[in-house]
Structure 1
Amino acid sequence: MDLLHNTVRTYAWGSRTAIAELLGREVPTPHPEAELWMGAHPGDPSRIAGPDGEPHSLLDLLADDPDGQLGARHADRWGSRLPFLLKVLAADEPLSLQAHPSAEQAANGFAAEDAAGVPMDSPIRNYKDPSAKPELVCALTEFHALAGFRDPARTVALLRSLDVPDFAPYVELLAAQPDAGGLRALFTTLITLPQTALDMLLPQVLDACVLHVKEHGEFDLECRTILELGEAYPGDAGVLAALLLNRLVLRPGEAIYLPAGNLHAYLHGTGVEILANSDNVLRCGLTPKHVDVPELLRVLDFGCGDMPVQTGEETAPGLWSYRTPCPEFELSRIEVGPSTPVRVDHSGPQILLCTRGRARLTCGDDTVELARGQSVWLPARDPEVTVTAEVDTQLFRATPGVE
């Protein structure tokens, strides 16, 4: 067991308080802090103190001993690559409207951009690696998001309630075909509107949202969200596209899984996020970064309906797992108190992050104290670990997925 030293990433949409408070640092911070990374991503790998007292990259540790660190079975599949990345994500402003490719789409896109000679560090490069990037986020605070296409009948009801005459022809596209095909047609139309048409239509939609909120309409939360996005990203087609998505509010401990092709945008809140160790993001709006609408349309999944929300399945005493079909990762939540020790075991590597209280980890003769905000690396060769605490304590565990 080794304590991890992790990197905080600063993006404009981040929080000046959430990550700093978790780590016990002074708030507010000089700059927004958006993500705390735990793992072996080449961009910002975690570090471990070596026998010489100097920090050593977890990347190097895996490269030197993949079988001992990952376990023979996982090393056979992933080589010396840790398949997951664990993050604390803190959003004070909306993230971009985005989706991630499947493994096949990523491999094809990566090869195509290589063949075209697009430099790896180019701002217009979509595919940084040939891997999929599914992800799951679990709320630490109330967490707001847009995710997945809403049931078309509900979307038609929302759009008709706004009663914008110039928007009516677009609404009828979906009303005439209330299924995935109709959503594709309407989304494609909205996201590719000429700027002149967008500049005419978007203010009318925003005015209608103001009126809807004043009248306490059925879609109050959805309209407030569109108004917030319209203010943050004036003249952006992504504001109209956001009208088609499920608007979610997660309570602490609730999670959503975002598979390949799921269109989403995190809006506000702090959560623990686990994802496949990839950088592939395709954006269509709500961002100053590179937008590639044709490529996004190629990977989007227009399946529709309510977005499933997980609360975790108790798979062992004190341990709740958030199940996904991903071989790259699984996230679990550990709740431990003074009289409820929890045993954790896995055939592969584990990262444990303490998000509340203070934990004591015992592995054979080795003991590590884990304060709030600290995380620890558990290689596959370590035996079963017992987690104890003197106060109610919460941890999150990242492992490769169950196959």
Structure 2
Amino acid sequence: MYPIRPVAKQYAWGSYDRLQSMFSSQFEQPCEGPLAEMWFSGHPQWPSLLSVPGRGEISVTDAIREDPEGMVGRRSSDHFGPVLPYLLKVISARIPLSLQVHPVGFEARAGYNAQNAAGVPFDSPLRSFKDPVAKSEMVVAMGPFSASVGFASIPFMLRNLRLVDHPLAARMAQAFASRFAVRARGADDFEEADAMMPVSAAVWPESRKQVFRAFHTAIAAGESDGLLPALEAAATEAANTRSHLAFEHALIAARAFERDASVLSLLMMNPVTLDEGESVFIPAGTPHVYLHGTGAEIMTNSDNVLRAGMTVKHKDIPNLLRTLDCRSGAPINPAATDLVSLMMRDVVVYKPGLEEFMLSYGHVDAKHQQWPMAEQLIRRYGKLAGQIGNGRPLVPREQGPRVLLCTEGAVHCVSAQDERVLVRGQSVFVPAHEGWLTVDAVDCGPDSAHAPFAANGSFIMASTQR
């Protein structure tokens, strides 16, 4: 096991206390300003550092390059190359992040190569494609977490938009009218939006084109007056809980970005609220906004972000629209389907169906009491889940590259070759050659330095899919 030092990212939307408190042991001096993300990274631009006996600190990328089979395993190395195939972050949002989409594979490769050919520096604020990798991601809430993810059904969109007394919302609603009806009223026919549709739109159903036109209307409008009062008035007329939540999310965004017309797009999206331990998976191409909260975020090893609004950073609307998935659908919960089979007494495993990553979120207790979060999930998903894993809580025995972070208290992690006690904010990289891994409560005497943390602890662990 090698201690791993995360890369701190300070963005305007970050928290002033949550990550500073969790990772206080990682800072020699107090962190000033908002802290948004802590990266456990093998990304070529922002790699984390490992503490290796006899060598000091070495980057994750260099360590894997020197010994790919030992660090990530033969299977992972053969499949993904000599890289860490995932990027783990702990994020904390005080105000909303940007409205964004992550590129699918061919768009990521094309955009990366095009920007390289154009000579756009990797550290340029105009650089959208930092690597040629498609980016899908999953977030697991570590407390209350709110987001808007993917497009909702068209009836849901229309009900919301028609409540808003604002010309831009009316224009968005008009995008769902038949082309014949639009022409009959002498209205513009969304020619600009149609010109920006990807080549694949030639085989789209008309409903998907309508979603594209309405979304384009919001993000291409730039700034607009009167959005906040119009949304506040409409929110009082929302007919059901889900619409109320969609307006609540749009209002959060509008208060942070008062004249940004893209906030209206949140009325087209699925409003999501997560309690601790709940999760959502966001495939490449899916529009999303994280509004507030702290969570563990894991993704393919990519830093590609295409932004459309709600940000002071570079917006890349043409590339975003080329990769936008306009299909309606419910948010994807990667824990729900397999919860009964994967949930042990104190560990929940999230498997989104990608080989690159999975995540475990667990709790250890010296008194072996039930984790309250697990009790809540058992009530939600069935009593059978509570009968699984009656013994000691174990992390699934994944022998690929793993990153283990203690998020509260202390944990005792043991592999086939090593063991270590971690306290809150400390983390280790567990290479593939160390084999199996278990996590348990710390068993120590009252004079131990770990005694204040010995009663219990929580952790997250990233790994590749088995």
* TM-score, scaled relative to structure 2: 0.79
Please say if residues 137 and 297 of structure 2, whose CA atoms lie closer than 8 Å, have aligned partners that are also in contact. yes
Q: How far is the alpha carbon of 1:131 from its aligned partner?
A: 0.7
Query: Residue 80 of structure 1 aligns to a residue in which SS?
Result: coil
Structure 1: which 5+ runs fail to align? none
Q: Does 1:12 align with 2:34?
A: no
Counterpart of 1:315 in structure 2 is 342
Please say if residues 254 and 310 of structure 1, whose CA atoms lie closer than 8 Å, have aligned partners that are also in contact. no
Counterpart of 1:348 in structure 2 is 400
The one of 50, 67, 70 aligned to 2:69: 67
CA-to-aligned-CA distance 1:26-66 (integer Å, 9 cap, x gap): 99852101111113223332222222372222222111111
Query: Residue 12 of structure 2 aligns to a residue in which SS?
Result: coil
Give the aligned residue type for 1:16: Y
Please say if residues 37 and 88 of structure 1, whose CA atoms lie closer than 8 Å, have aligned partners that are also in contact. yes
Give the aligned residue type for 1:283: R
Counterpart of 1:211 in structure 2 is 233
CA-to-aligned-CA distance 1:79-129 (integer Å, 9 cap, x gap): 321111111001101111100111121112222223333333332222121
Query: Residue 432 of structure 2 aligns to a residue in which SS?
Result: coil
> What is the 5 A alignment of 1:145-156?
145-156=147-158
Measure the CA separation in 2 of the matches of 1:224 and 1:134: 26
Measure the CA separation in 2 of the matches of 1:276 and 1:385: 23
Q: Does 1:327 align with 2:355?
A: yes
Q: Does 1:180 align with 2:208?
A: yes
Counterpart of 1:401 in structure 2 is 465
Please say if residues 354 and 372 of structure 1, whose CA atoms lie closer than 8 Å, have aligned partners that are also in contact. yes
Q: How far is the alpha carbon of 1:166 from its aligned partner?
A: 6.7
Deviates more, 1:318-327 or 1:75-84: 318-327
> What is the 5 A alignment of 1:133-282?
133-164=135-166, 167-174=169-176, 176=178, 179-193=207-221, 199=224, 202-203=225-226, 205-213=227-235, 218=240, 219-282=243-306
CA-to-aligned-CA distance 1:208-232 (integer Å, 9 cap, x gap): 3222345676433333332332232
Query: Residue 400 of structure 2 aligns to a residue in which SS?
Result: coil
Deviates more, 1:205-214 or 1:183-192: 205-214
Q: How far is the alpha carbon of 1:23 from its aligned partner?
A: 2.2
Structure 2: which 5+ runs fail to align? 180-205, 369-391, 443-454
Measure the CA separation in 1 of the matches of 2:70 and 2:342: 26
What's the RMSD between the two structures over aligned residues? 2.5
Q: How far is the alpha carbon of 1:399 from its aligned partner?
A: 1.0
CA-to-aligned-CA distance 1:229-279 (integer Å, 9 cap, x gap): 223223323122222111211111011111110001111100000011112
Give the aligned residue type for 1:397: M
Query: CA 1:383–1:225 in 2, change beyond 3 Å: closer, same or farther?
Result: closer
Count of residues in Structure 1 that have an aligned counterpart in Structure 2:
396
Measure the CA separation in 2 of the matches of 1:271 and 1:154: 28
Q: Does 1:120 align with 2:122?
A: yes
Deviates more, 1:255-264 or 1:340-349: 340-349
Query: Residue 179 of structure 1 aligns to a residue in which SS?
Result: helix
Deviates more, 1:206-215 or 1:371-380: 206-215
Query: Residue 15 of structure 1 aligns to a residue in which SS?
Result: coil
Query: Residue 174 of structure 1 aligns to a residue in which SS?
Result: coil
Please say if residues 41 and 48 of structure 2, whose CA atoms lie closer than 8 Å, have aligned partners that are also in contact. yes
Please say if residues 156 and 175 of structure 1, whose CA atoms lie closer than 8 Å, have aligned partners that are also in contact. no
Please say if residues 238 and 284 of structure 1, whose CA atoms lie closer than 8 Å, have aligned partners that are also in contact. yes
Q: Which has the higher strand share?
A: 1
Measure the CA separation in 1 of the matches of 2:145 and 2:422: 25
Q: How far is the alpha carbon of 1:304 from its aligned partner?
A: 0.9
Measure the CA separation in 1 of the matches of 2:15 and 2:350: 26
Deviates more, 1:355-364 or 1:147-156: 355-364
Query: Residue 43 of structure 2 aligns to a residue in which SS?
Result: coil
CA-to-aligned-CA distance 1:125-154 (integer Å, 9 cap, x gap): 221211111110000010011111111101
Measure the CA separation in 2 of the matches of 1:2 and 1:208: 54
Measure the CA separation in 2 of the matches of 1:111 and 1:59: 22
Query: CA 1:20–1:118 in 2, change beyond 3 Å: closer, same or farther?
Result: closer
Deviates more, 1:331-340 or 1:258-267: 331-340
Q: Percent identity?
A: 37
Query: CA 1:364–1:259 in 2, change beyond 3 Å: closer, same or farther?
Result: closer
Q: How far is the alpha carbon of 1:176 from its aligned partner?
A: 4.5
Deviates more, 1:100-109 or 1:358-367: 358-367
Please say if residues 160 and 238 of structure 2, whose CA atoms lie closer than 8 Å, have aligned partners that are also in contact. no
Please say if residues 354 and 373 of structure 1, whose CA atoms lie closer than 8 Å, have aligned partners that are also in contact. yes
Measure the CA separation in 1 of the matches of 2:394 and 2:168: 59
Measure the CA separation in 2 of the matches of 1:278 and 1:33: 20
Measure the CA separation in 2 of the matches of 1:166 and 1:100: 26
Please say if residues 16 and 32 of structure 1, whose CA atoms lie closer than 8 Å, have aligned partners that are also in contact. yes
Query: Residue 100 of structure 2 aligns to a residue in which SS?
Result: strand
Give the aligned residue type for 1:4: I
Give the aligned residue type for 2:59: S
Measure the CA separation in 2 of the matches of 1:166 and 1:98: 20
Please say if residues 172 and 213 of structure 2, whose CA atoms lie closer than 8 Å, have aligned partners that are also in contact. no
CA-to-aligned-CA distance 1:197-217 (integer Å, 9 cap, x gap): x53xx51x4323222345676
Measure the CA separation in 1 of the matches of 2:108 and 2:162: 38
Counterpart of 1:304 in structure 2 is 328
Measure the CA separation in 2 of the matches of 1:366 and 1:165: 64
Q: How far is the alpha carbon of 1:184 from its aligned partner?
A: 0.9
Q: Does 1:110 align with 2:112?
A: yes
Measure the CA separation in 2 of the matches of 1:54 and 1:260: 37
Deviates more, 1:310-319 or 1:267-276: 310-319
Counterpart of 2:309 in structure 1 is 285
